[in-house]
Chains A and B, each alone.
Chain A
Amino acid sequence: MGNYVTAFFVGGLICALAQLLFDLTTLTPAHVLTLFVVLGGILSGLGLYEPLVRFAGAGATVPITSFGHQLVQGALRELETHGWVGVLAGIFDLTSAGITAAIIFGFLVALLFNPKD
């Protein structure tokens, strides 16, 4: 599951690649982040993301590419157990905790804080 050194170097590298795309192309950050999720999903489908997680630990699970990976793995696991309909049912299996946490904490923060100008 990786260690601090591999987490730093792999996680940093993924962020540095995104920054290069921010600075050297006309893509907006939203486009780059979307692209990274799609790339994570494709790598996951090819079986290449799981080895990266084993090597880099949080260096691979913290960047947004991991979100695409988990969406794909959720779909594939349910496909194994429930067949075709599992693809629909399973996509958010592994990411629901993260999405729900973002909704709940986002809602609470919006109630408790006021925007800074």
Chain B
Amino acid sequence: MAARAKKRAVKRQEVLEQEYKDLAQRQKPKTPVVRNVLVAYLVGGLICVLGQAITQLYLRLGFSPEDVGNPTAATLILISAVLTGLGVYDVIGQFAGAGSAVPVTGFANSVVSAALEFKREGLVLGVGARMFSLAGPVIVYGAVTAFVVGIIKALLR
């Protein structure tokens, strides 16, 4: 008898949990996907237009098309670092999502904001150790990909 009562209690518990899950599902705010994608397109596109303008500027200053990538990236990273220090880039990020995360400015923002956030843990264990806590995976998997592609090309030579 006791076993049957226990089973019933468990069953009731499961029903309640399912009802709770359904309710939570209904109450969850719907992600405005269309709005997010359009804003990401617009902001990401504009950051690339800024990059194109900086590229044109350095080309005019005498950099060759092969060499223009470095000063362009460094300039975008500098702009992003200052905006992150001022707290502006994180506001853009909340608005633009992937539009500001995917460009190189987003990579810089992840490095600078991590350095800044962990400043209170000290210059070595905070700033030094945590700087790449967000950007690290990108570097690790990028390097692994480059290594694998390089080995495959070496084997095919």
Contact = CB atoms under 8 A, between A and B. Distances in A.
Interface of A: 1-4, 7-16, 18-20, 22-24, 29-30, 32-34, 36-38, 40-42, 44-45, 56-59, 61-64, 66-68, 70-72, 74-76, 79, 83-84, 86-88, 90-92, 94, 97-99, 101-103, 105-110, 112-116
B150 to A, nearest CB: 4
Nearest to A98: B73
A1 B147 contact: no
Contacts, number: 256
Contacts of B117: 115
Interface string B115-157: 1110110000001000100110111011101110111111000
Contacts of A98: 70, 73-74, 77, 104, 107
A102 B87 CA distance: 17
A110 B115 contact: yes
B31 A102 contact: no
B102 to A, nearest CB: 5
A49 B68 CA distance: 17
Contacts of B114: 106
A106 B48 contact: no
B45 A15 contact: yes
B82 interface: yes
Given A79-B150, A98-B74, A58 B135 contact: no
Given A1-B55, A16-B98, A64-B138, A22 B36 contact: yes
B77 A105 contact: yes
B49 interface: yes
B45 A110 contact: no
Contacts of B112: 102, 105-106, 109-110
Interface of B: 31, 33, 36-55, 59, 65, 68-74, 76-78, 81-82, 84-87, 90, 97-99, 101-108, 111-112, 114-117, 119-120, 127, 131, 134-135, 137-139, 141-143, 145-147, 149-154
B153 A106 contact: no
Contact of A16 (B40, B146, B149): B40
A78 to B, nearest CB: 8
Nearest to B77: A101
A109 B46 contact: no
10 contacts: A11-B49, A14-B102, A16-B37, A22-B97, A38-B145, A58-B52, A72-B150, A105-B82, A106-B115, A107-B127
B36 A8 contact: no
B139 A99 contact: yes
